[in-house]
Structure 1
Amino acid sequence: MRTKGISRSQLFLIELIVVVLFFSLAAAMVMMAFGKAHELSAGSEALNGAISAIQSTAETDKGKQPEEVSQGTESAYYDKSWKKTDPASAEYLLNTEVKLEARPAGFMAVYRYAASYASENTNTIIYKLEMKKYYSGSSYTISAGEVN
């Protein structure tokens, strides 16, 4: 029985199939790398915007006079470009919590800022910051219901 060897055209087709498979795998790896880069870029953009918004809010709060400071929580809503917007079209949420602590010669205002995504199903905090400011010579009395 005589066996026939593989012809040149068959070898060429096999080689071509191997090359196509190799480039397909390489393309898949490149696409995964680009996808990860896009994800990191979006996260970095959100972090930079959150830092900027919190820093701006903290600087504004830092300049407040003692009579302008009150205990409680405030929320600010931002769009995709970190511009203030209404809650319905918000992409990001910035919560500011203010607690006042009585001191012998004044009071301490403790500001806690937290930026997160505005969607209801996500509680992921992008960035948070705590700032304290002491107001000397200002009187603040803690009522019975307040907790430090």
Structure 2
Amino acid sequence: MTAQFDGVYSVIASAIGGSSIATVKIENGHLIGNDISGSRYAADLSDTGDGNVTFDLQVQMPPNVFGIWGTSPSETVQTRSMAIPLPATVFEGKPFTIPSYDLHLVFRRISDDFEGLAGPNGLQQMIDHLTQVQQIWKNSDGG
């Protein structure tokens, strides 16, 4: 049963094309999330019964964003779908490498207070926060 994985996670991913940080929410076997490049994530999780979980993942990347696993940027929205088997221990913060993508992942459970960052308005929340921080630093630096 995938309900045991319900929660909000910070996900760090690194591969040949770079690194990214995402905030995702898992609820009742469904994942939604956003990363710092503006990409959006959706997945259905299924427990395979052998200590693994399969993510039927869909990633939507906006124009001019490269995939960290080595895909080139596009002038249009790109959508990638893939089924990824992961050990259930990945939800305990244990690093895992997906060999077929040479992709390294770390999932960290974070406070549910951050679930908005994973939702439909998550990207705007990130932008608003960074805009506020930018102004604070500008004021702090005397400019």
TM-score normalised to structure 1 length: 0.26
Is the strand fraction higher in 1 or 2? 2
**Whose relative contact order is higher, 1 or 2, with alpha carbons under 8 Å and at least 6 apart?**
2
Larger helix proportion of the pair: 1
TM-score normalized with structure 2 length: 0.26
